Structure 1
Amino acid sequence: MGAPENELLVEISRGSMTESVHRGHIAVVDHERKLLAYAGNPEFYTFTRSTAKLLQAIPLLEAGGSERFGLTPSETALLCASHGGEPEHAATALEILRKLGLDESALACGPQEPMYKPAADALKRERREAGQLHNNCSGKHAGMLALAKLMNVPIQQYIAPGHPVQQKMLRTVAEMCGVSPESITLGTDGCGVPVFAVPLASLAFAYARLGRPDCLSPERAKACRTIIGAIRQAPFYVAGSDRFDTRLAELTQGRIIGKMGAEGLYAATMPEQGIGIAVKIEDGAGRAIYPAAAETLLQLGLLNAEEAAQLAGFHQPAVNNRRGDQVGIVRPVFRLHRA
């Protein structure tokens, strides 16, 4: 019997007609690696993209980087961020670099216009160019430079797959996902660093253990709790204004910590329950990520009515025309299978 096929997860209606659909896969796994629920193929093999950022922050923290460099909760959250390039994000990334004795030129992520449109518009009004600090991955890259400093290895070429920092990242991601490093296919992410491909259920398992790290080493468990605590305390710095990851952490007071990834990926941890989820929209459509993720949380009973109401704009976003009239809706249509 072959692997399960993808399932219809989200459809887009216009008027009374379904105009487009998005298919994909979902895995819900606990911290003991038990599959609890799924849609499509929970073993679907895919790149982790930016969902890996929380896992990539672990090596720096478990080696004592927070204490060595005096990282604040906001700075720690930024290590894990796909931030909007807002002024506070850029300033925080720069402050991390200053603590390392470095400046923006040390970053190798490349310049990027802020994802948060008001921030991008402000730069244009001021006739300023977007820089590497505005790159949504600048926090992650600052963390990699910090790890290089902590490991006493060169900061040059820190994004190369063979660099000690990237080798440490690979081993950590493999250990958290419960797979061998050799089983991980490497690609190059949008910011130039290696990106890791694993089964979706393995990513969900990593997130379950991130939130419930009881069986990990004391140093790693402390690092995981530091990451969760930082995002709980400073959720703005993991995403930003009008972003699902920030709103989810704010509304649930950190009871749920989630992270989006490019090409239709989402992962989240529920520390109290010791559960992780991972969602992959197979065609990579960003518009389907949050409806599918929010619906997964609702079907698992992890959002209360007030939280669900506050997240309705992410769960079932309106399709509007250029006049601002609602002409359709993006709607999740799947039912999770209980394992």
Structure 2
Amino acid sequence: MINHSSSKSASLPFTVAVSRGSMVESHHLVAAAICDSTGRILQSWGNVESPVYLRSAIKPLQALPLVESGAADAFDVTEKELSLACASHNGEPIHVEAVTNWLNRIGLGIEALECGCHWPTYDPAARALAVSGQEPSAAHNNCSGKHSGFLCTAVHLKETTTGYIHREHAVQQRIVKVLEDFTDLDLSNAPVGIDGCSIPTIAIPLQNAALAFARFADPSTLTVARATACKRLQKAISKYPEMIAGSDRLCTALNGAAEGRVVAKVGAEGVYLAALPESGIGVAIKALDGTTRAAEVALGAILEDLGILDEHVHRAIDPYVRPILRNRNDIVVGEITAVIDS
């Protein structure tokens, strides 16, 4: 249950300003909510009650059935693979090899993945693949780790693996139940779209998304099995942040440098979710124009306001959350900053 009684809310979204020279060249508007695990909204900006697609930002919750079902233990899923199950990875060799090995261990091949394929999103990896004369496979898909987790669970529970991407399949039904449990919502009539990797993406208000990640951060009121699964995924992401994203990515930099104090995940169309285990707080962010650069800067500003960012974390994430703009001659021409009215 969402409780607004102690919240500090702004009716308008806050601004991420893009400056060039002495003036602001453009603005991004950002809605966001900060919630604790009891459902109390600590702060919000903009409309946090209307549903939004959380896209890949919700992956740590989608990975919970992999652990809760016993599949992770049955197939000796490593911590690296648990982090990969939560990933939107770059398609670098470490990701592709891990996916391939995991599928082989559960008796499946890459052809079992129903996520589709695309070139690696990390340019050096894409160039290397092209130079080698190879084409990308479904293992290069940024969601292939998540899909490997889905398949692992289905195999363990002796379910058909074909069609696991469809909403009526038991794999997706378990995920819906997890999301309902964590958000306090009945999602049976929520808007549903098809994500880039072909699974359903269910629209959830930012305030409920923040609640969900607060409960992921502080699962002490959940069942022992679910709380253990949450902590296990948190540990895996923090220990192997390169698997959840890869080179030159904020998710990798933040989850690594924060050393468990923040577990954060990006989603398409300007979404970011973060769990703060020490304080039991969840953060949900949506850049209204769908730009990741705005969501990253907004996340950095909110974490700074919450007192999470020490010098070590700043060094790791400032290139993403306090970006300096340079032109083709490497001349500094501007910056991107968040303007938050607390």
TM-score grouping bracket, smaller chain normalisation: over 0.9
Alignment of structure 1 residues 21-36 onto 2, 5 Å: 21-36=27-42
Tell me which residue corresponds to 1:216: 222
Post-superposition offset of 1:9: 2.2
1:267 partner letter: L
Tell me which residue corresponds to 1:326: 332
Quick one: which of 87, 106, 117 aligns to 1:111?
117
Alignment of structure 1 residues 167-206 onto 2, 5 Å: 167-206=173-212
* Structure 2: runs of 5+ lacking an equivalent: 1-8
1:199 partner letter: P
Quick one: which of 78, 100, 119 aligns to 1:72?
78
Post-superposition offset of 1:6: 4.1
Q: Count matched residues.
A: 334
Alignment of structure 1 residues 136-285 onto 2, 5 Å: 136-285=142-291
Alignment of structure 1 residues 124-139 onto 2, 5 Å: 124-139=130-145
1:280-319: per-residue Cα shift (whole Å, max 9, x none)?
0011012211110010000111111332243221122122
1:228 partner letter: Q
1:18-67: per-residue Cα shift (whole Å, max 9, x none)?
11111021100011111111222232420110011100001121111111
Q: Aligned to 1:24, what secondary structure does the other structure show?
A: strand
Q: For the Cα contact (< 8 Å) 2:274–2:284, is it kept in 1?
A: yes
Which region of structure 1 is more displaced relative to structure 2, 308-317 or 94-103? 308-317
Q: Aligned to 1:142, what secondary structure does the other structure show?
A: helix
Quick one: which of 22, 25, 40 aligns to 1:19?
25
Post-superposition offset of 1:94: 1.0
Which region of structure 1 is more displaced relative to structure 2, 297-306 or 287-296? 297-306
C-alpha distance 271-7 of structure 1, shift in aligned 2 (>3 A): same
Cα distance in 1 for residues equivalent to 2:306 and 2:10:
21
Cα distance in 2 for residues equivalent to 1:63 and 1:162:
18
Cα distance in 2 for residues equivalent to 1:333 and 1:61:
40
Answer yes or no: is 1:37 the counterpart of 2:58. no
Post-superposition offset of 1:11: 1.0
Quick one: which of 296, 304, 307 aligns to 1:298?
304
Q: Aligned to 1:43, what secondary structure does the other structure show?
A: coil
Q: Aligned to 1:302, what secondary structure does the other structure show?
A: coil
RMSD: 1.4
Answer yes or no: is 1:98 the counterpart of 2:117. no
C-alpha distance 93-328 of structure 1, shift in aligned 2 (>3 A): same
Runs of 4 or more consecutive aligned structure 1 residues displaced over 3 Å after TM superposition: 3-6
Tell me which residue corresponds to 2:316: 310
Cα distance in 2 for residues equivalent to 1:333 and 1:205:
24
Post-superposition offset of 1:233: 1.5
Answer yes or no: is 1:123 the counterpart of 2:129. yes
Post-superposition offset of 1:190: 0.4
- Identity across matched positions, percent: 38
Cα distance in 2 for residues equivalent to 1:180 and 1:144:
23
2:172 partner letter: Q
Cα distance in 2 for residues equivalent to 1:331 and 1:44:
26
Cα distance in 2 for residues equivalent to 1:272 and 1:102:
39
Post-superposition offset of 1:14: 1.2
Cα distance in 1 for residues equivalent to 2:51 and 2:164:
27
Cα distance in 2 for residues equivalent to 1:115 and 1:178:
35
Cα distance in 2 for residues equivalent to 1:243 and 1:164:
33
Q: For the Cα contact (< 8 Å) 2:64–2:230, is it kept in 1?
A: yes
Q: For the Cα contact (< 8 Å) 1:80–1:140, is it kept in 2?
A: yes
1:182 partner letter: S
Which region of structure 1 is more displaced relative to structure 2, 176-185 or 19-28? 176-185
1:122-148: per-residue Cα shift (whole Å, max 9, x none)?
111111111111110000111111121
* Structure 1: runs of 5+ lacking an equivalent: none
Q: For the Cα contact (< 8 Å) 1:8–1:21, is it kept in 2?
A: no
1:97 partner letter: L
1:63-117: per-residue Cα shift (whole Å, max 9, x none)?
1111111000000100000011110001111111112100100001111111111
Cα distance in 2 for residues equivalent to 1:268 and 1:194:
21
2:17 partner letter: E
